[in-house]
Chains A and B, each alone.
Chain A
């Protein structure tokens, strides 16, 4: 018998309203517009590199936050150390480029796979505990990896590794990274969306609320959590690999600091933990706010304070994050309702 599979939440009455019908097209137009941005590079005498760079950074953080949300949002296990997967991806791609001359665009998916496998193994160990103990274990992970890399000359130690630029002139050099990062961001959003609407995603949401209840409902919680942790590492590994050559270096001081690990958490909380759109909105807003405040106040500590204050204010008024709180109030635009 042929039965249509549907998502639990596809049955809301709102799904039939016009906002939901046009959502697909509007999102399509946005993606198409983003894909066309680099084309303007030839159409204008102005150099668009500032905008390309800004968008690449946004795509990077959308990927980070969206991936983090799989374990941190859906399953409710707060990791402050997902930057280790970016570091693994970054270092792996850097070494393969330096030693074997394989371009990062080729190694990036492979870096994602390695990050995922490492995530699986780490998950088997750290996901035995929950709550504060789990959070601390994720910070410990960053510190351990940092210590190892700091002292490993093969990987450049504290100085890190410097990578060659790709051989394109300044007008073009950002474009391959732009498309690669855009693709990674879109795929990670789709991956997250797909999980959110799968049996797996429903199981993770059950785990985030009551693990014993989830177990007695028949969900192998241990396996779900480890899979979610591994899944959340994949696109972060890919993005880390691309980033390494984009900025032409990898070093412990950029990849393995607490701030890097905390950022996707803050972005996701701001946008809406456990929602598909939340991390996307949160990442874009934080990067834009940072950029704006840097342009206003210069590259000083004031930025950090400014962005921090904005975050606190937003979370005061939207405790479930922007998307989560708007949903609860019944005011979430259809365009952002991807759950």
Chain B
């Protein structure tokens, strides 16, 4: 069953059609990769799906419900969390506070509670442990390295126990060892907790290794969606990438 369905999404920036009649789906329990050359519209698609941008037209269906008109916080509440291509941590907050911010608040009473329950704190520490930055819990986020920020991004999403996680280049610019560890975490969460992933990633070797399904975008449109080994040999896909190379 599809956890997320995208139907005919369109988004233009002035005269530039960044996303054009874009349709694809993400199966529940899968790791789906979203690939395509630079400027293909992947990040824009993420912004439309997560509510950060409003689509010009088209539908986004998450867990059977249309969400394209909802503000981001309501989409997050429904169980979808995302990272940004360039980390957007709250730099003036501590690492632990960045984790707690992602923890859902329940109603008016929840709003007025002290900022962190002991349970939340334990959970945050556990997740920081999971990605290996627990000792930085009380550090200011601004002081983290690039890779550590990526790890924090990733760990903090898990605070809200999402069903679907959207990762925009989780391995972009991180060293190979860290990349390997991020990918291990993703597979672990997918297999053990049944979390579904939609991942934008340029590293093909990696994409082919961990994903169950690959969506290929070029010039704002989806040109293919299939299993990795099939997509890999699809002439249209090769052309989209080669076309870019010859540019």
**Chain A residues packing against B (C-beta within 8 Å):** 1, 3-9, 11-12, 194, 197-203, 205-206, 209-210, 212-222
| A198, B88: Cβ atoms closer than 8 Å | no
**Interface assignment of B36: CB less than 8 Å from any CB of chain A:** no
Instruction: Name 11 interchain pairs, CB-CB below 8 A, sorted by A.
Output: A5-B114, A6-B114, A8-B94, A8-B96, A198-B114, A205-B93, A216-B50, A216-B76, A216-B81, A219-B73, A219-B101
| CB contact list, B92-135 vs A, under 8 A | 92-94, 96-97, 100-102, 104-105, 110-119, 121
Collect the chain B residues with CB atoms within 8 Å of residue A199's CB. 105, 110-115
**Interface pairs A-B: 4 shortest CB-CB:** A5-B114, A218-B76, A215-B72, A3-B118
| A7, B73: Cβ atoms closer than 8 Å | no
A213 to B83, CA, bound (A): 9
Distance (whole angstroms) from the CB of A199 to the closest CB of chain B:
5
| A210, B90: Cβ atoms closer than 8 Å | yes
**Interface assignment of B160: CB less than 8 Å from any CB of chain A:** yes
The residue in chain A whose Cβ has the minimal distance to the Cβ of B52 is A212
A3 to B117, CA, bound (A): 7
Quick one: given A4-B118, A5-B113, A209-B92, are A202 and B71 in contact (CB under 8 Å)?
no
Q: Is the interface of B mostly helix, strand, loop or mixed?
A: mixed
Extra contacts besides A6-B114, A6-B118 (7): CB < 8 Å: A6-B121, A7-B116, A198-B115, A212-B88, A214-B101, A219-B101, A222-B71
| A203, B76: Cβ atoms closer than 8 Å | no
| B91, A209: Cβ atoms closer than 8 Å | yes
| A215, B71: Cβ atoms closer than 8 Å | yes
| B97, A8: Cβ atoms closer than 8 Å | yes
Chain B 60-75, CB-CB to A under 8 Å as 1, else 0, gives: 0000000000011110
Collect the chain A residues with CB atoms within 8 Å of residue B81's CB. 216
| B115, A8: Cβ atoms closer than 8 Å | yes
Distance (whole angstroms) from the CB of A108 to the closest CB of chain B:
24
Q: Which one of B74, B84, B89, B101 has the highest number of Cβ atoms from chain A below 10 Å of its Cβ?
A: B101
Collect the chain B residues with CB atoms within 8 Å of residue A222's CB. 71
Collect the chain A residues with CB atoms within 8 Å of residue B93's CB. 202, 205-206, 209
